[in-house]
Amino acid sequence: MKKIIAIIWKDAIMRFSGFSELLFFIILPIIFTFLLAGGTPGGDEDTRIRLLVVDEAQTALSAQIVSELGASSAVRPEVVSRDEADEQFSQRRASAVFVIPAGLDTASLQDGSAAVDLRQQPNNLNASIAQRAIQTALRRVSSAVSAANTAVNEREKTMPFASDAEKTAYFDKSLKLARELQEDTPQRVAVIRAATPDQVEYDPRANSSAGQLITWVFIPLFGISELFAYERATGTLRRLLTTLTRKATYLLGTISGQVLMAIVQMLLLVGFGILVMQLNWGRDPLALAVMLVCSALAAAAIGSAMGAFVKTSGQANGLSIMLGMVMALMGGCWYPLELFPPAIQTFVKVLPTTWAMQGLLDLVLRGGGLADILPEAGVLLGFAAVFFTIGVLRFRYE
């Protein structure tokens, strides 16, 4: 036991001998978590898509359109000048620009000449969502007038008007009625969030926090391979094994040391998430601990297996970072898995990062407990068993 602790301590001193290690251990993960979470707003912030609106009409009708957009659950209108909108759009700082041209009023609505313009960045999902929201708002604003027009037309078919004055009066009466009906329209859609027994508040930053935690922990654990390659190349491993230290002691000490450091790193990042980002990591500490340990073991196992095959520390370093980044990307750590095509969502289940991410999201987003993350933990332990076996059996000491 003393030897294992000595190896752990030795590796820790070597790893943290320079300031640069702190960069990758805690500073960069926090920066990335913060910045990527900054791309996804917090629970209390407005999550709607920003829509630039240019109101050149300045009429009651245009004000009503802007008001309807303000009440939309999809877009957040921001009224700007034409020049400002053009500049932001050309610099691709805005997905879409909605222009209400001069002359848009009730009269143009009645005579069917009312038109508005939407400029969209091509193939932009936000722009497509903005288009739908604008169409909904336009329908709501114009529906009362449309209903009144229809009422006039239908009445004319069965009971023609005696004069234009009567027709106008009928239109006004119908318009008033339609607006009353519109105001009295009840809420017909109720949204209920699932599987959250004590109503966990959804926070999109949780995705960023969990994803960056996995990314920045898996990469150094894959880097166990570099540790092995370095000790082989410098001859220190050979010298160590000429002492009374068994091979199993060396392996256990090296691997458990890196796993312990990874757990410390994960706890620091979870702490940052709780204290600074106000995320809900602490609901079930036991379940969280299980997920973190299983994730660390799976990553360490892969790093150990890699260490059995790589020849140089340069090779190991490059492979660790490359594989770590690719697995993080494909595992849903950078972009939510729900955005992936269905075939890819199935394929990426071969990656440990996918299971680690799902387990953490079950805890922080779905309010799950120990029982809910057992399948993910089991799969991660399976990865650990397989890759540790490969790593230990194929390990080269010279």
Tell me phi and psi for residue 393, to 5 degrees: -70, -35
| 204 contacts other proteins (rule: CB under 8 A) | yes
Q: In what order do the strands lie in the sheet with 75-79?
A: 75-79, 49-55, 96-100
What one-character DSSP code corresponds to residue 283? S
Q: Is 30 in the site for other proteins (CB under 8 A)?
A: no
Work out how close the CB of 283 gets to other proteins at its nearest, in angstroms, rounded to a whole number.
Answer: 13
Q: Is 370 in the site for other proteins (CB under 8 A)?
A: no
Cα 150 to chain centroid distance, Å, stands at 46
Would you count residue 177 as binding other proteins (CB under 8 A)?
yes
What's the burial of 179, exposed, middle or buried (CB within 10 Å: 0-12/13-18/19+)? middle
> How far out from the chain centre does Cα 288 lie?
20
Q: Closest CB to other proteins among 308 and 329? A: 329
Instruction: Give the separation between CA 145 and CA 303, rounded to whole angstroms.
Output: 68
What is the amino acid identity at position 113? S
- Kindly state the smallest distance separating residue 141's Cβ from other proteins, in Å: 7
Query: Is residue 112 a contact residue for other proteins (CB under 8 A)?
Result: yes
CA angle 199, 204, 207 (to 5 degrees): 110
What mask of x and - would describe binding to other proteins in positions 126 to 145, judged by CB under 8 A? Answer: x-xx-xx-xxx-xxxxxxxx
Letter string b/e over residues 73-100, b meaning 16 or more CB atoms within 10 A of that residue's CB:
ebbebebbeeeebbebbeeeebbbbbbb
Give the three-state DSSP class for 79. strand
95 binds other proteins (CB under 8 A): yes
Binding piece for other proteins, criterion CB under 8 A, among 146-154, 239-247, 270-278, 282-290: 146-154
Binding status of residue 200 toward other proteins by CB under 8 A: yes
Enumerate residues 229-258 that contact other proteins by CB under 8 A: none
Q: What is the closest distance, in whole angstroms, from the C-beta atom of residue 248 to other proteins in the complex?
A: 30
DSSP code of residue 102? T
Candidate residues 186, 242, 275, 398; the one interacting with other proteins per rule CB under 8 A? 186
Q: Does 342 bind other proteins (CB under 8 A)?
A: yes
The yes or no reply on residue 286 touching other proteins (CB under 8 A) is no
Check residue 362 for interaction with other proteins (CB under 8 A): yes
Query: What is the smallest separation between the CB atom of 9 and other proteins, expressed in angstroms?
Result: 22
CB 40 within 8 A of CB 207: yes
Is the CB of 95 or the CB of 209 nearer to other proteins? 95
For position 375 contacting other proteins by CB under 8 A, the verdict is no
Q: Which one, 182 or 278, has the nearer CB to other proteins?
A: 182
Residue pair 98/117 in contact (Cβ under 8 Å)? The answer is yes
366 touches other proteins (CB under 8 A)? yes
Alpha helices of 243-312 — where are they, by DSSP H? Answer: 247-275, 285-307
The answer to whether 64 contacts other proteins (rule: CB under 8 A) is: no
